[in-house]
Structure 1
Amino acid sequence: MPEAATDLAAAMRALAEQHLSASDLAEQAIAAHDPALNAYAAWTPETTRAQAAAADAARQAGATTGPLMGVPVSLKDIYAAAGWRTYAGSPKALPAEPWERDGPLVAKLRRQLATITGKTNTVEFAFSGLGTNPHWGTPRNPWNRARVAGGSSSGAAVSVREGSALLALGTDTAGSIRVPAAMNGLAGLKMGAGQWPTEGIVPLSHLLDTPGLIARTAQDLAIGYGALNGDAPGAAPMARPDLTGVRLCVPAQVVWDDTAPGIAEAVESALRELEAAGAKLLRRDVPEVLAAVEVFRTTNLAGPDLYRLLSTELTGWLDTVDPSIRQRLDKATDVPAWQWLAARARVAELSRAAAERLRDCDALVAPTVALTPPEIDAVQAPDAFARANGFALRNTAVGNYLTMAGVTLPAGLDAAGMPVGLQLLGQPGGEAGLLALAQTVERVLGTSDQRLGTPPAA
């Protein structure tokens, strides 16, 4: 077999130069899959091969269907897709209509003849940031298989880390793309609120849900963004020439509090490298960051939305929900309507204020996740789970509760030898600029393989 393409950009070059076929990429993805890591709820190698063969046939006939033609892509199992059942991490399949019909983003993959490798495991109804699931098993972190992979897009991140997919579609309500991307030493993109359609995606929060991508590099994120953004495939955002004049806002509040050993150090080291490369660090108070965390901690905005879904549209599913999730769902019923509505209004108010305060910044930067991925056995009890889950999502929730776009990139390893992420937040609608910046940051810091090396368990 030809030499493997380890990232999306390399795969696209190899396909264009006919060094690899889509079938070659499919076989490499199939060979890379490690069942012990439990990335997939539905792993479908024969379907993968058939899709790759169709892409090869189209290419041989002279057709070019888009940037993702013949590229292995995984789908988080809350995306509806024809040919696969959708479980959303629950123990039984959701109704065929509409949950076995392509939504808009999956339809774009189909039109480009991407090779869909299967449905990846998710936290049940995407309602936590650790990645655990008692129904389907918890995906394992390739850096240490005793530890969580992060969630809720847990299998999505593991599929990219193991190499069975070169791009993964996930979703992010309080950090569900950026947390697993950071914990696995990958790049992740959360779209700004309202920028990509959520139709065909099992809803958690109509206010906070955003689709997004996980990949090996910022360049790969940019390629995926260009392929899926807008009505037709477009060019990927290009990196900035350099970091000269780039202004990075470093908030003083909360995001640095109580970080696990080695996390703040890894991020500060990365920031010093960016400063040496020409970026200007603006260390300042950003009251909206602290206020967003306070709303996240005090009002369960997503819980009432999910409780309504499970009480009215998916009746019967509530009875089998994971106890760690059920505990938080039951608490959501205690939130009075006025408080929930007030929190939604507060999110809108804070988003406007943050946009104004950060007008002179190219991005707000912080550690992506403040804790080392915990061992799976340590978060089995609901109370231990709740503490770790809230801490895992604290920094990323800032992006959702301020309705911002977000990217995470590998920054280093913590004291436990686990990956640390650097989070870049920008305004919704500014994703192209944020990805241009992220690629330039990546050129300074290095890709995951360059900065972190490979997982010891690989």
Structure 2
Amino acid sequence: MNDLIQKSAQELLQGYRERSFSPVDAAKAMLQQIRRCNATVNAFNLVDEETTLRCAREAEQRYMSGNVCGLLDGVPVAIKDVFLTPQWPTVKGSRTIDPKSTLGKEAPSVAALRRHGAVPLGKTTTPEFGWKGVTDNPMDGITRNPWNPDKTAGGSSGGSAAAVPLGMGPLTLGTDAGGSIRIPAGFCGLVGLKPSFGEVPHWPASPFGTLAHAGPMTWTVADCALMMNALTEADSRDTNAIPRRNIDYLAEIRGEPEDLLRGVRIAFSVTLGYVDVNKEVEAAVRRAAELLQSLGAEITEVAPGFDDPIASFGHLFYGGAANALRDIGRRQRALMDPQLVGVSEKAAQLSMLDYLEAVNERMALCERMAMFHQKYDLLLTPTLPITAFKAGREVPENWPSTRWPSWTPFTYPFNMTGQPAISVPCGFDASGLPIGLQFVAARFNDVAVLRAAQAYQVAAPLTGKRPDLFYENALMDVDGQVRS
């Protein structure tokens, strides 16, 4: 079992083809790992073993009959509880949603994974309506970091992030409207991609509007690229989706690190010109930049030249929170996260001109970054200026601000611009908590961030290191008996 739960999606697919093991074996191993670890980290808020095993048996039969279905046949995948799943309710961590009202509906990403034969593992936890950069909600409680359960997993895709390092599933789905894929990927030590806006179809439209992206969260960059090949298929329900480009992302990242990086122009900024960064984070990111340069990248230490857009982002994002709550009455709001209610009610008082001023700043930021990428192929930054802090808090202890965007300054600007951005692990701090490295490219150049992340991960792999909790629990057999 220990061997199966640490395999990548591509390794699982190879094993299925070679008949070394089956999709049922993999599903059973991961369900067992969920039973062992989930009580500690609270990654899943819904697990339906019967459905998972039925889908795994169907995949097993397809392999036996030679009728393999798509790119991910038999690979287990976990789904953030904001994506509509026809067989399971989607409540977004909120008591205000009628679970039955969501059944029978399917989000584009979920439909794409089904078409490609993926085996659904369950739904992963999110803060209520995905509103903040940590994961807790009134229904499901606190989601914790797999490397140290006293710490936060980040958010809002915290459940998806906590699952992967512990071997509870090799592939997970997340959403990102201000960093919600990259924040927990950085804190939990996995790969998280926010694709260009419109590259992955998303329906229904998010209340956070064009800030919100859907994307993959995986243990390896190669699995991220493989998942993108499925997720980017057309879905007419998303009116913001860009025309399909039919890019084979997995093919695009093949090659040696030197081949992927030779001559690539990378602007490197530890601070974006205005961020205070933890010394251990800065040291790890600088080492990564030096490695990239040794592999042939052209590194220039330069900031992109914009001021912190946090105020405008706040108007746009919290305006989205107010939009999410527009039809929820006072009695139901009493059941909700009071902080979400507070920020949404405050945002509801914004004037139209306040909101349009934020839109103007967003447009100016888009233009600046478009011009910046005329000179540089990539922008390289830390994913976050800090490592994970105490679970159950929105901000670190003794932090000067009370709201989560104050400690995520490297993520939300690129939701405003719609650019692709990926977080890949680049080290650990002295206490063993992961540090993330972020690559950002011009809008629609998703290939560039995947190629750079792949080159870095191949040259400096951390995929062989798992949390202690992974190994402690893996000492048990599938029947739950401790092995000697």
Fold conserved between structures, TM > 0.5: yes
Asked if residue 114 in structure 1 is aligned to residue 118 in structure 2, the reply is yes
Match of 1:24 in 2: 25
**Residue in 2 aligned with 1:387?**
402
**Correspondence list, 1:142-181, <5 A:** 142-181=146-185
Does the 8 Å contact 2:275/2:409 carry over to 1? no
Q: How does 1:165-204 map to 2 (within 5 A)?
A: 165-200=169-204, 203-204=206-207
Question: CA offset at residue 145 of structure 1?
Answer: 0.6
Query: 1:136 maps to which residue?
Result: 140
Asked whether 1:431 is paired with 2:446, we answer yes
Equivalent positions of 1:12-161 (< 5 A) are 12-33=13-34, 34-36=37-39, 37-94=41-98, 96-98=100-102, 100-161=104-165
Task: Tell whether the 8 Å contact from 2:164 to 2:170 is kept in structure 1 after alignment.
Answer: yes
Structure 1 residue 44: deviation in Å?
1.3
Inter-partner Cα distance in structure 1 for 2:308 and 2:60: 52
The structure-2 alpha-carbon separation of the partners of 1:258 and 1:378, relative to structure 1 and needing over 3 Å to count, comes to: same
Structure 2 CA distance for partners of 1:353 and 1:174, relative to 1, 3 Å: same
Q: State the Cα deviation string for residues 396-419 of structure 1 (Å, max 9, x = none).
A: 112112221111000111233210
On the 8 A contact 2:133/2:394 being kept in 1, the answer is no
Report if aligned partners of 2:77, 2:172 keep a CA contact under 8 Å in 1. Answer: yes
Aligned to 2:477: none
Which stretch of the first structure deviates more once superposed, 324-333 or 93-102? Answer: 93-102
Residue by residue, what CA displacement relative to the aligned partner does 1:63-117 show, whole Å, maximum 9, x if unpaired? Answer: 1211111100010000001111111011254464456411211111111221000
Aligned partners of 1:263, 1:143: CA distance in 2, in Å? 17
Matched ranges for 1:338-377 at <5 A: 338-377=353-392
1:333 is the counterpart of 2:348: yes
Deviates more, 1:53-62 or 1:404-413: 53-62
Conserved 8 A contact 1:327-1:382: no
TM-score, scaled to structure 2:
0.87
Matches of 1:107 and 1:372 in 2, distance apart?
A: 35
Question: Secondary structure of the equivalent of 1:50?
Answer: helix
Task: Identify which of 241, 251, 265 aligns with 2:269.
Answer: 251
Taking a change above 3 Å as real, the CA distance of residues 79 and 255 of structure 1, as seen in their structure-2 partners, is farther
Residue by residue over 1:203-229, the C-alpha shift from the partner in whole angstroms, topping out at 9 and shown as x without a partner, is 241120000111001111011111222
Any stretches of 5+ residues in structure 2 without a counterpart? Answer: 235-243, 471-484
Stretch of structure 1 that moved more, 424-433 or 20-29: 424-433
* Partner Cα distance (1:324, 1:163) in 2: 33
Which residue pairs with 2:475 in the alignment? none
Indicate conservation of the 8 Å contact 2:321/2:343, yes or no: no
Query: Aligned partners of 1:51, 1:220: CA distance in 2, in Å?
Result: 21
Instruction: Give, in whole Å, the separation in 2 of the partners of 1:218 and 1:132.
Output: 27
Does structure 1 retain, via aligned residues, the 8 Å contact 2:267–2:301?
Answer: yes
- Residues 363/306 of structure 1: CA separation in 2 closer, same or farther (3 Å cut): same
CA separation of 1:186 and 1:380: change in aligned 2, threshold 3 A: closer
- The one-letter code of the counterpart of 1:114 is A
Shift of 1:316: 5.8
Q: Could you say which residue in structure 2 is the equivalent of 1:292?
A: 309
> What is the CA-CA distance between 1:345 and the residue it aligns to?
2.8
Check the 8 A contact 1:252/1:286 in 2, yes or no.
no
**Mapped partners of 1:385, 1:199: distance in 2:** 37
TM-aligned CA deviation for residue 247 of structure 1: 1.4
CA contact (8 A) 2:171 2:217 kept: yes
- Determine the C-alpha separation between the residues in 2 that align with 1:67 and 1:86: 26
Answer yes or no: is the 8 Å Cα contact 1:368–1:396 preserved in 2.
yes
Q: State the distance in 1 between where 2:21 and 2:98 align.
A: 38
Give the root-mean-square deviation of aligned CA atoms: 2.5
Aligned amino acid, residue 174 of structure 1: G
What is the TM-score with the length of structure 1 in the denominator?
Answer: 0.91
CA distance in structure 1 between the partners assigned to 2:270 and 2:409 by the alignment: 15
Note the C-alpha offset of 1:170: 0.5
Query: Contact 1:365 / 1:422 at 8 angstroms: preserved in 2?
Result: yes
Aligned partner of 1:260 in structure 2 is: 278
C-alpha displacement at 1:186, in angstroms?
0.3
Q: Secondary structure at the match of 2:301?
A: strand
C-alpha distance in structure 2 between counterparts of 1:134 and 1:380, whole Å: 18
Higher mean C-alpha displacement, 143-152 vs 237-246? 237-246
Contact 1:187 1:214 in 2 (8 A): yes
How far has the Cα of 1:378 moved from its partner? 5.1
- Aligned residue in 2 for 1:205: 208
- Aligned to 1:147, the other structure's residue is in SS state strand
Secondary structure at 1:308 match in 2: helix
Matched, 1:9 2:10: yes
SS at match of 1:358: helix
Q: Which structure 1 residue ranges, 5 or more long, are not aligned?
A: none
Tell me how far apart the structure 1 counterparts of residues 388 and 397 of structure 2 sit (CA, whole Å).
Answer: 17
Q: d(CA) in 2 for partners of 1:252 and 1:84?
A: 42
Equivalent-residue separation in structure 2 for 1:60 and 1:225 (angstroms): 27
State the one-letter code of the partner of 2:13. M
Query: CA–CA distance in 2 between the matches of 1:285 and 1:333?
Result: 34
Contact kept, 8 Å, 2:80 with 2:125, in 1: the verdict is yes
Counterpart Cα distance in 2 of 1:88 and 1:113? 25
CA distance in 1, matches of 2:154, 2:91: 19
Q: Secondary structure at the match of 1:359?
A: helix
How far residue 317 of structure 1 moved from its aligned partner, in angstroms, is 4.4
| CA distance, structure 1, for counterparts of residue 341 and residue 148 of structure 2 | 28
Match of 2:468 in 1: 456
Moved more, 246-255 or 144-153: 246-255
Partner residue in 1 for 2:420: 405
Structure 2 residue identity aligned to 1:222: A
C-alpha separation in 1, matches of 2:397 and 2:274: 26
Deviation at 1:49, TM superposition (A): 0.5
| Contact 1:99–1:200 (Cα < 8 Å) also in 2 | no
- Give the Å deviation of 1:383: 9.7
Amino acid at match of 1:265: A
Q: Are the equivalent residues in 1 in contact too, given 2:78–2:169 (CA < 8 A)?
A: yes
